[in-house]
Chain A
Amino acid sequence: MRGRDKLLIIILVGVCFALVFYRIHMFGFSAAGLLPQRHYELLLNMTFDGHDEKVRLRVALPFETDRQKVRNEFFGAPEIPFRLKHQAGNRWGVWERDEVRGRHSVVYSSMVRTEARRFKLPEVLPRPGPYATELQAALLSAKHIQSESKDIRNLYASLVLPEQRDNLAAIVRAVYQHTQQTVKSVKLKGTTDALTCLRLGEASCGGKSRLFVALCRTAGIPSRLVGGLIMKNGTWRSSHIWAEAWLAGRWIPFCPLNGYFAEIPAHYLTLYYGDHSLFTHTRDINFRYFFHGKTVLAPPAEALRDIRSQPAGLLNLWSAFEQVRIPLNLLKIILMIPFGALIVVLARNVAGIPTFGTFMPALLAVAFRDTGLLWGLILFASILIFGGGVRFALERFQLLHTPRLAVILTSTVLFMMGVTALGVATGQILATRVSLFPIVILTLTVERAAIITEEEGLRQAGLVALGTMLVVTVAYALMSWEILQVIVVTFPETLLLVVAVFFVVGRWAGIRWSEYLRFREFFFSGRNPHA
């Protein structure tokens, strides 16, 4: 590396750190309190058909707890009156109207933030005095939680030795152990009550949690069911049930299905307490629904409140972008693109992995954010195959270059329309999210792939396609790495470091990995050809 390269790299790194340092000091923001955090965009979509009769729909909606924040709520149902009902700590959204006709859809969306909580139970937890009246209900036997039944009492007696029955910690440990391990985990439809769960010896989340609660109540520990969602990226339909027990003066979470003891993970969203249904609705209305979740980075809610008090801080940068309709999340995507390019540069110049087009993999990785990695790859591969077929069929017409590309582009558009339509028809909502897939880039890729197939054979084209997918996957992983996202959104000057890496690779004189493979026979016959 020459002197001027080194100098430039040192300047880039220096400026980057100077800027970070300067901003931390001058604006004195306590970085921790302002760092963007992972939120989920939650969408609940419900449809039903009315038959000129009254329709009532009740849904549990998320609320704020010490580990859960909800904002930007939206309740959408143009023609159905909506109200919120608060009841025993739960928050129900109720849509209700007389004489409903035809198909209606109801949408709820919000941005939620949930944190993990983990509690440490002491070895010995003695029974406290009498419980407060509010907790009395959490001790009673109920329809699906038959804590008074003989079988459950017997089970309790066999699980917990008499001398341990005054140590609440030992009791919940034994109860958890049984419901988590001894009871097998299976997928069951409908409601499994505690007794059924005991008899079957197997259950899903609801049955296991009900048995857990029933055993706790038998033991005289106030306990309750908790209903909610396991948040993720994508679309899903199933909800989740876990349990809480009142220990040491507070509700402690347990999930016997997924194995969380005195712990609740960050992606659990609480929707209601008690043995309720997530949805209750009038019969025979052909009710359908799905949840859609997406992780986004957003500044913490507290930080947004005092945005004005920060004269030139980072939040104002964000809010400036918000004003020109670039929300933080989009800003994040834009700022992460150079990292996609970084992976491409390393893949090409250091590893020597062949890819279609130079920055195609980085752009694809951006597009995959909407479809998810797996579906993105599947879609990419099927478009390549489909486009390749079209291009092959076009061969005999000997079209000129640009019109031929345009035909491939149009068929790609039609193909994606088809995928979307298919998705809608089969209830796979995934496909509706491919709308922003980079059609033009894909078209060029199809053309590139066809040329490679023609000149170097299908095998080579397949290899390049695999190389592309590999690079896309790595770029995708790096670009969705949350810690990095937070750093870059907070300190965009870190991109200078990326530029520094580009300079290092740009002057790098090493042998590419692929060249080790290519020249592997270099030593084949020794050095002397005449030997």
Chain B
Amino acid sequence: MLEFFRRARRLQQEILGINVRNRDFVYPLNHRRYFPSVNDKLLAKQILSEQGLPVPRTLWVGQNHADLDSLDAVLDNTPEFVIKPAQGSGGRGIRIMEQAGEGRFLDSHASGPGLSREDVQAHIADILAGVYSLEKLTDRAYLEERLRPDRVLGQLTPSGLPDIRVLMHRGWPVMAMARIPTRSSGGRANLHQGAIGLGIEMRTGQTTHAIVKNKVLKTHPDTGQALPRVTIPYWERILDYSRQAAHCFNLGYLGIDVAIDQQQGPLILELNARPGLSIQLANQQGLVAKLYSGRQAA
């Protein structure tokens, strides 16, 4: 019992909760006016690439149904691609597709007969109608080149693209975590869908603890094998990109998602103006001390 209260007290002192995150960080540091610049991924990509930061190539953008006409040419000439809603979140509406011949497309993370060209168009029409963007009634859809995981992080996942979340406070990286898709997360690197979160030591880029759905684990949930500790490749460059990216947006509290492509190296996937708090679990480290100490690590 005493132990319980001792733990609860420590939790209170060290963990950043949603209330404080919103009250002391999101509201004062992130002006609502600047939310759209990160919530719209196309807009964010544009801002980033104007600053010379690497982002995945955009293959096609559609704003209304008429734009679907120009889609065919792209579909014909691209062996694999990713469909995304510009304003989706939590992985919603994202489809990772590859050509299966005879005008059919396979969803890389779903079983089944795959999609016809009409199905792909219907999915894009849904995106345009705002089905995947909670607050808006319309949206833009775009196709993006498919990235392939590098060897180091790729070995941790059966399928899907891991990414690295760097938490930025007033332009400084304070904490980071790698997110590894699992079978139950459907190849997407979203923690609440069951992806693995790996804490990262800021100084060295070495992974530390691992969590799945708020639970600390030692073995990979898909393979049952011990999770190896790895060093994130391009770690310094990822931190550097993050700093530069944070500089482009008027947001003082920001999550930056970076993916590492086999060939191109680190690319900025997207940004998040209300980054989640599970990063503390993955690192077994509270944010309170880091955020209030003034100067941050790294």
A512: shortest Cβ distance to chain B, in Å? 6
Which residue of A455, A508, A524, A529 has the most chain B CB atoms within 10 A of its CB atom? A529
What are the residues of chain A within 8 A of B214 when measuring CB–CB? 518-521
Q: Does B117 contact A (CB under 8 A)?
A: no
Of the A-B pairs whose beta carbons lie under 8 Å apart in the complex, a sample of 9, sorted by A's number, is A400-B129, A456-B192, A508-B19, A512-B19, A515-B11, A521-B211, A523-B284, A527-B284, A529-B201
Residue of B nearest to A402 (CB): B137
Q: Within B12-28, which residues are at the interface with A (CB < 8 Å)?
A: 12, 14-15, 17-20, 23-24
Of the candidates A507, A516, A524, the one whose C-beta lies within 8 Å of that of B23 is: A507
Give the docked Cα–Cα distance between A107 and B131 (Å). Answer: 51
Q: Check A400 against B126 for contact (C-beta < 8 Å).
A: yes
A510: shortest Cβ distance to chain B, in Å? 7
B230: shortest Cβ distance to chain A, in Å? 13
Q: Within B158-205, which residues are at the interface with A (CB < 8 Å)?
A: 192-193, 199, 201
Give the docked Cα–Cα distance between A97 and B17 (Å). Answer: 74
Tally of A-B residue pairs with Cβ under 8 A? 80
Contact surface of B with A, Cβ cutoff 8 Å? 7-8, 10-12, 14-15, 17-20, 23-24, 90, 92, 122, 126, 129-131, 137, 192-193, 199, 201, 208-209, 211, 214-216, 277-278, 280-281, 284-286
Known: A519-B11, A523-B10. 18 other contacts (CB 8 A): A400-B131, A401-B131, A508-B19, A509-B17, A509-B23, A510-B17, A511-B15, A515-B15, A515-B18, A518-B214, A518-B278, A519-B15, A522-B15, A522-B281, A525-B216, A527-B285, A529-B201, A529-B209
Residue of A nearest to B128 (CB): A400
Q: Check B11 against A349 for contact (C-beta < 8 Å).
A: no
Contact surface of A with B, Cβ cutoff 8 Å? 349, 352, 398, 400-401, 455-456, 507-512, 515-516, 518-527, 529
B200: shortest Cβ distance to chain A, in Å? 10
**Given known A-B contacts A398-B126, A529-B208, A515 and B17 have beta carbons under 8 A apart:** yes
A353: shortest Cβ distance to chain B, in Å? 13
**Given known A-B contacts A455-B193, A522-B281, A529-B201, A401 and B19 have beta carbons under 8 A apart:** no
B251: shortest Cβ distance to chain A, in Å? 22
**Given known A-B contacts A516-B8, A522-B286, A527-B284, A456 and B193 have beta carbons under 8 A apart:** yes
Give the docked Cα–Cα distance between A522 and B280 (Å). Answer: 8
What are the residues of chain A within 8 A of B209 when measuring CB–CB? 524-525, 529
What are the residues of chain B within 8 A of A509 when measuring CB–CB? 17, 19-20, 23-24
Q: Check B208 against A522 for contact (C-beta < 8 Å).
A: no
**Given known A-B contacts A455-B193, A456-B193, A510-B17, A522 and B12 have beta carbons under 8 A apart:** no
Q: Check A519 against B281 for contact (C-beta < 8 Å).
A: yes
What are the residues of chain A within 8 A of B122 when measuring CB–CB? 398
What are the residues of chain A within 8 A of B130 when measuring CB–CB? 401
Residue of B nearest to A506 (CB): B23
Give the docked Cα–Cα distance between A511 and B214 (Å). Answer: 16
**Given known A-B contacts A400-B126, A455-B92, A522 and B201 have beta carbons under 8 A apart:** no
**Given known A-B contacts A455-B92, A521-B215, A521-B216, A510 and B281 have beta carbons under 8 A apart:** no
**Given known A-B contacts A398-B126, A521-B214, A524-B216, A511 and B12 have beta carbons under 8 A apart:** yes
What are the residues of chain A within 8 A of B284 when measuring CB–CB? 522-527, 529
What are the residues of chain B within 8 A of A518 when measuring CB–CB? 214, 278, 281
Residue of B nearest to A460 (CB): B192
What are the residues of chain A within 8 A of B24 when measuring CB–CB? 509
Q: Check B11 against A516 for contact (C-beta < 8 Å).
A: yes
What are the residues of chain B within 8 A of A400 when measuring CB–CB? 126, 129, 131
Which residue of B90, B131, B214, B284 has the most chain A CB atoms within 10 A of its CB atom? B284
What are the residues of chain B within 8 A of A401 when measuring CB–CB? 129-131, 137
What are the residues of chain B within 8 A of A515 when measuring CB–CB? 11, 15, 17-18, 277
Give the docked Cα–Cα distance between A455 and B185 (Å). Answer: 10
Residue of A nearest to B190 (CB): A455
A272: shortest Cβ distance to chain B, in Å? 60
Residue of B nearest to A508 (CB): B19
Residue of A nearest to B90 (CB): A455
What are the residues of chain B within 8 A of A507 when measuring CB–CB? 23
What are the residues of chain A within 8 A of B216 when measuring CB–CB? 521, 524-525
What are the residues of chain A within 8 A of B208 when measuring CB–CB? 529
B25: shortest Cβ distance to chain A, in Å? 12
Give the docked Cα–Cα distance between A518 and B278 (Å). Answer: 9
* Nearest 4 CB-CB pairings of A with B: A529-B208, A524-B216, A511-B17, A400-B129
